[in-house]
Amino acid sequence: MDFGFNLKSVTQLLSANALLSGWGSAGSEQHSKCAALKQTLRIENTTIVDARFLAAGSRVKVGKLCPEQQSQKFYAPTSLCRVQFVTKTSESSGIRAEAWLPEEWYGRFMGVGNGGLGGCIGYDDLSYGSSFHFASVGSNNGHDGNSGEDFLNNPEVIEDFAHRSIHVEAVVGKQIVEAYYGHQHQKSYYLGCSTGGRQGTQEALRYPADFDGIIAGAPATDFNHLIHWTGMLSRHTGAPDPTSPAFLSASEWDLVSKEILKQCDALDGVEDGIITEPDTCLFRPEALICRPGQIDDCLFPAQIAALRKIYSPLYSDGKLIYPRFDPGAELTYRQFIWGGQFPEYPRDWLQYVVLNHTTFDFSKYGPKQGKRIEAINAGGIATFSGDLAAFRDRGGKFLTYHGRMDGLIASGNSKRMYDLVSATLSMPSLDSFYRLFLVPGLAHCTGGIGSPNFGQRSYDVTHGVNASSHNLLLALVDWVENGKAPDEMIGTSYDGQTERAHCRYPFRSVRNAEQTAWICVQ
């Protein structure tokens, strides 16, 4: 069966669907067929809240349940049936979810993930999937908003957040798809980044039959240690006390960033503001120490000591807890981590999940709290197992990527996960089912400098190019359905003028002999 995923550009698909929505009889029939789902569809523990047909370009109203989305606007990229539903996951928990079912469907199902501690349906990813004519389903991950307050004294909500919500959205979503189209999907896919990347990894580990192909970007795996590491990054600079002698102001972080580039930018042979291999950057913060009588454009000893800790791996009792912060990524989330306050993610996780009270003094946060987070492992959230045998054996394909300018999750953690899977499965190379792309210049999931766009999210599409070489989602489809695995991904700049090859691990990106392009070498 030809699904036609590479036959039209995104722009052409949208134009074609705008015309389809104007067909009177077909449109009327689809309206009725969609609306009927609310009255006729019966799924265990599930209530269809609303079902209505949207013409291409229609505004999607999202309500007020997720405050973080109130300033955003979402649109139907193609004519589709929007199904809103709620599924109980226990007596005290449930997920709120949506299925976007394109009028022109190519037989594919796609689940999408979440971000942070959320809490918010991924409308951008639902739009992205349906623009390529996937029947796409996303949920609120068991609670609304990006706060951890709903976790307090509610282990079932934590269970949804840790692993259950994506499985439920897949199981129920596939039933909705079959009811609407009259037959089952042909292939199923998953798309997520950050928390969504962790969710995708949990799917491969716990529910290997849910998806044939998974994209797990910048995954928040080894979650307990990630939470602790994030807290310690801020503690190194004195948080929650911005008057600490270790605190660095925004201008001082600018100074640090310039010095890192001065020491490491040219290591890849090109001075372009991008450190291609942060692992090779042995940053020496001592170069910034104030000389006698100097008070400007320099740092004091307590600040230098903080930087040494930040750019070193985190250990506890001789055990590696988490890789070091990537040199070159320090400006991307500096306010969140180093703004003087203890970051909200480790704050909420400790208060609402681990301690179950909100009175902890975060000036006392340290290794003791990290050990407690790890020991509790609420909801089995750690997500740091290498046993992907079941997913591999049923033919599943796993694509992951990580920006080397990621200021929230160290890219070295994705290398750790890859190496853990390799060791667990006794497979020196995982190329047959698992590929990791480390992307120079890419920040957390999206954004950055250079050529960070390769179709990993809806806003990272190279417009006018609709091919698996430039689009990670299409590359996954090509791998699952045609057996063509991606050896490299071509990233483009935001103006579309610059391209760069991004390499699968353990290959790395270097300039060719003519110094005209980036190539992948081992």
> Which residues are identified as catalytic?
194, 406, 444
Largest Cα–Cα distance of the chain, in whole Å?
A: 82
Measured CA to CA, the distance from residue 358 to residue 454 in angstroms comes to 42
Measured CA to CA in angstroms, residue 150 lies from 142, 154, 161, 224, 351 at distances of 9, 7, 11, 18, 11
Contact between residue 380 and residue 155 where contact means Cβ atoms under 8 Å apart: no
Element (H, E) at 12: helix 10-20
DSSP sequence for 29-64:
HHHHHHHHHHHH--BTTEEEEEEEEE-TT-EE---S
Measured CA to CA, the distance from residue 321 to residue 324 in angstroms comes to 10
Contact between residue 345 and residue 149 where contact means Cβ atoms under 8 Å apart: no
> 345: Cβ–Cβ under 8 A, 6 or more apart, which residues?
116, 117, 148, 227, 230
Q: Which residues pair with 511 in a beta bridge?
A: 518
Measured CA to CA, the distance from residue 94 to residue 400 in angstroms comes to 28
> 75: Cβ–Cβ under 8 A, 6 or more apart, which residues?
57, 58, 59, 60, 127
Measured CA to CA, the distance from residue 341 to residue 240 in angstroms comes to 4
Alpha helices in 425-517 (DSSP H): 472-482
